[in-house]
Structure 1
Amino acid sequence: MSFVKRNTVLSSRAGRALPQAKPPNAEKLQPPPGVRPSPLDGRPTTSTGTASLDQLLAGHNGLPLGTCLLLEEQGTTDFSGVLLRYYAAEGLVQGHQVHLVGYPPEWRRQLPGVAQPDSKSSKSSKPAPAPEEKMKIAWRYEALGNSAAPGNVASREDASQASFCHNFDLSKRLEPASIKGSLHPTPSTGPPTFDPRGQITRSPLKAIIKHLQSKLLSSAPTEIHRVVIPSLLLPSFYAPQCSQPSEVLRFLHALRALLRTYSSQLTAIISLPTSLFPRSSGLVRWMELLSDGVLELVPLPATPGAAPPPASSNAEKTDQSQGLLKVHSLPVYHEKGGGGAETSTFRETLSFSLSMSKGLNIKPYSLPPMIEDEEEQKKEKASGGKPKDGIDF
């Protein structure tokens, strides 16, 4: 009968310890620039260029590759166009291939530039404290080096977030030095592609699908592509034949097939003016079914005769809600669903605000304070009287 010393670890004896081999091609498993795994299911995701929109996408913290978003907007505003410019600018800065549909190549001059780091944030990041200023609880980080300190870990997280989603400034234009990718204009979708006698020479939307397919076939497997489709079916950029259901639905079917075929390389964002094509029509309903995520932007109308906001605080101006955001569907986790329908995202009322430096910020909607009533109450208190409509309990 054999005995083993109690303090001896069994795996430390000869013949028990197995060598830990490194996985093959470990260096090749690094994701491409601008791509990181989803914290939910590990699928590769890329940023839309808007941090608040990335957080909204069903917990993926980004747009999953192989999916598309449909942005619907009411009225004559162009908030969805701003989101598309951020999406295209993020792709060019990350080195992705951006394909522009419908619009001319001069649209690239409207892309926002990369914002410079704020001086206040740089001042707030203080250097590491001296050894005598360290807290007593920080002794467990000393053996791991300075890189394991909580402050350095937070700075690394901020740096990784900045490399995944950049900050852009609408008052600036994207400089050529910041562009690492390339913008590919697709074949024109305007009326010149049609015969003046009314006979269609070729289908412009079908030509776009062939263009995308040829670019994807000739690209490397690790190259990321983005499809930007601003103001789909707008009469000034799309021929009247494109708005027929047989034409546009065939185009969306083919685009969805490309997204599923190249599920690790391709994403797309489409904007649709619902003032021309309302959601009550069957065509828009089918377009929503063929999209992985559907968001609706409802700008708030300006009340005539309302007093302007006070000019004392600039933060209140930028944080003032300019519209409501309705979430109709989000990219699902798998074929059984799970795209955020079980969370409170669909039930919560969301709003958005746009500023030149912060971009478009999505947040829960809250009613603004009644400025006129507050001013009247201050005047009444200053004069020594009681408020007019005051209720005492």
Structure 2
Amino acid sequence: MSFRKRNIGLSPGADRTPVANIAAQQPQAGPSPESSPGVRPSPDDGRPTTSTGTPSLDNLLAGHAGLALGKSLLIEENGTTDFAGTLLRYYAAEGVVQGHKVHVIGMMEQWGRNLPGLIGTADLAEENVDRRKEEKMKIAWRYERLGEFGAGVSGSRVPAATGDKSQVPTEGGPAATQAAFCHAFDLTKRLTHPSLSSMDYIPVMPSRESPYISIHKRLQTAIASSPPNTIHRIVIPSLLNPAIYPPAASQPENLLQFLHSLRALLTTYANRVTAMITIPLSLYPRSSGLVRWMELLSDGVMELCPFPHSPDAAAANAMSGAATAQEEPPHGMLKTHRLPVMHERGGGSDQNIGEDWAFTLSRRKFEIKPFSLPPAEGDHEAQQGGAAGGMPKKADLEF
């Protein structure tokens, strides 16, 4: 039995005005990474990603369609070729075009002057290639003068679009409101961009101690003093190359400490920094413990295995069936040892690990595509003999 009076409440209502005042006094969050140029959410889990400058490489990175911010990518290469250096130039050129801050370690300004020239957006470049293929498949030359179905007579007299193809169209459509995520470049041209002069070149200074101490301090100062919406790209070409790095740089206590500090920078500024590193396996093979530790401290690890360069080998690769008559033969194989799988709940898949991938370097792009051998062919002598003797007789067939 209750002895409480019916006209008295249990407790007075909570005053919500202080809560509203506290909420109004909280500082507003800074700009989101997606608002920065060249950054978009991952289609897999929504984390911010940026392009590597190579669309086929973006599609290979664990389903994120780009390199996630705060992650690093290690590219290993066998032999004396420099295909990995070409990927780095695409990566740096994409950052320059997007207005990102590019930090190049161990190279001089001449390396930045050799970045490939800008053609346009990657989507427009692919559309132009598809359009050329469609034109080659037309039945007769007179159909080229006809417009689309239902366009009337004026459809065949529409002049071709002129102007700079590198600009994104501005007349309606989604391409008018969305900035380009990835661009197409030409290796035979040189990049000219206002942001090219703002690239940061960090030399490797010889020191009795670790030569990476000054590099880490300069990177940390540049990232901490930049605006919060600035995206940084760290480019490290030919790590441990004796022509660039002193002998003390290859000591495990110095190199692994630098990689740990670089990983700490990527974790501290997870929404602002990415890194791409290359290393020559001809000098430091994967069987060494130092390279194994480098792979463990990197989020993604890929290996480029170029084909031997000789006329006979090139002819064999061209006749292997890996490329059609319209496509160029592959220049080597690409192995994915590790992809940036973010956490145990998902955030990236490693389904591409173990697949056979081939890479092709043309004048305008570095393309990665699946590699497949042609079907087994029959005996050439038997085929020639059958062609010479004609079809067998009906009596010779056994049922």
Same fold (TM over 0.5): yes
Distance 1:101 1:155 in 2: 41
Deviations 1:7-27 (A, max 9, x none): xxxxxxxxxxxxxxxxx9899
Q: How much does 1:288 deviate? A: 0.5
Task: Report the equivalent of 2:267.
Answer: 260
Count, aligned residues: 328
Does 1:287 find its partner at 2:294? yes
Does 1:104 find its partner at 2:120? no
With over 3 angstroms needed to count, the CA separation of the structure-2 counterparts of 1:243 and 1:35, relative to structure 1, is same
Unaligned runs of 5+ in 1: 1-23, 133-151, 195-199, 387-391
Q: How much does 1:350 deviate? A: 1.1
DSSP 3-state at the match of 1:167: strand
Task: Report the equivalent of 1:244.
Answer: 251
Does 1:321 find its partner at 2:300? no
DSSP 3-state at the match of 1:257: helix
Q: How much does 1:121 deviate? A: 5.9
Task: Check conservation: 2:236, 2:278, Cα contact below 8 A.
Answer: yes
Does 1:172 find its partner at 2:189? yes
Task: Check conservation: 1:96, 1:182, Cα contact below 8 A.
Answer: no
Q: How much does 1:367 deviate? A: 2.2
Q: Which amino acid aligns with 1:274?
A: L
Distance 1:385 1:302 in 2: 41
With over 3 angstroms needed to count, the CA separation of the structure-2 counterparts of 1:122 and 1:322, relative to structure 1, is closer
Q: How much does 1:280 deviate? A: 0.6
Q: Out of 355, 358, 379, which is 1:351 matched to?
A: 358
Q: Which amino acid aligns with 1:70?
A: L
Deviations 1:170-197 (A, max 9, x none): 11110135x47831001x225xx24xxx
* 1:302-341 matched pairs, under 5 angstroms: 302=309, 305=312, 308=315, 309=318, 316=325, 318-334=327-343, 339-341=348-350
RMSD: 3.8
Q: How much does 1:94 deviate? A: 0.1
Task: Report the equivalent of 1:142.
Answer: none
Distance 2:196 2:107 in 1: 21
Distance 1:128 1:334 in 2: 50
Taking structure 2 as the reference length, the TM-score comes to 0.72
DSSP 3-state at the match of 1:164: coil
With over 3 angstroms needed to count, the CA separation of the structure-2 counterparts of 1:307 and 1:225, relative to structure 1, is closer
Task: Check conservation: 1:95, 1:181, Cα contact below 8 A.
Answer: no
Distance 2:130 2:370 in 1: 25
Deviations 1:123-176 (A, max 9, x none): 8899998699xxxxxxxxxxxxxxxxxxx9x9636985x710101111111013
Percent identical among aligned pairs is: 51
Distance 1:184 1:377 in 2: 65
Task: Report the equivalent of 2:204.
Answer: 189
Task: Report the equivalent of 1:213.
Answer: 220
* 1:268-283 matched pairs, under 5 angstroms: 268-283=275-290
Q: Out of 132, 148, 163, which is 2:180 matched to?
A: 163
DSSP 3-state at the match of 1:228: strand
With over 3 angstroms needed to count, the CA separation of the structure-2 counterparts of 1:337 and 1:274, relative to structure 1, is farther
With over 3 angstroms needed to count, the CA separation of the structure-2 counterparts of 1:235 and 1:347, relative to structure 1, is same
Distance 1:300 1:307 in 2: 8
Task: Check conservation: 2:356, 2:371, Cα contact below 8 A.
Answer: yes
Taking structure 1 as the reference length, the TM-score comes to 0.73
Task: Check conservation: 1:47, 1:90, Cα contact below 8 A.
Answer: yes
Q: Out of 64, 82, 86, which is 2:86 matched to?
A: 82
Distance 2:51 2:330 in 1: 23
With over 3 angstroms needed to count, the CA separation of the structure-2 counterparts of 1:298 and 1:175, relative to structure 1, is same
DSSP 3-state at the match of 1:234: coil
Task: Check conservation: 2:90, 2:185, Cα contact below 8 A.
Answer: yes
Unaligned runs of 5+ in 2: 1-26, 136-145, 153-169, 392-397
Task: Check conservation: 1:328, 1:346, Cα contact below 8 A.
Answer: yes
Distance 2:29 2:91 in 1: 30
Distance 1:216 1:251 in 2: 16
Does 1:299 find its partner at 2:306? yes
DSSP 3-state at the match of 1:331: coil
Q: How much does 1:211 deviate? A: 0.3
Q: Out of 38, 42, 63, which is 2:42 matched to?
A: 38
Distance 2:314 2:231 in 1: 48
Task: Check conservation: 1:324, 1:350, Cα contact below 8 A.
Answer: yes
Q: Which amino acid aligns with 1:211?
A: R
With over 3 angstroms needed to count, the CA separation of the structure-2 counterparts of 1:159 and 1:229, relative to structure 1, is farther
With over 3 angstroms needed to count, the CA separation of the structure-2 counterparts of 1:166 and 1:384, relative to structure 1, is farther
Task: Check conservation: 2:96, 2:193, Cα contact below 8 A.
Answer: no
Deviations 1:252-299 (A, max 9, x none): 000000000000000000001111101111111111110001011111
Task: Check conservation: 2:44, 2:347, Cα contact below 8 A.
Answer: no
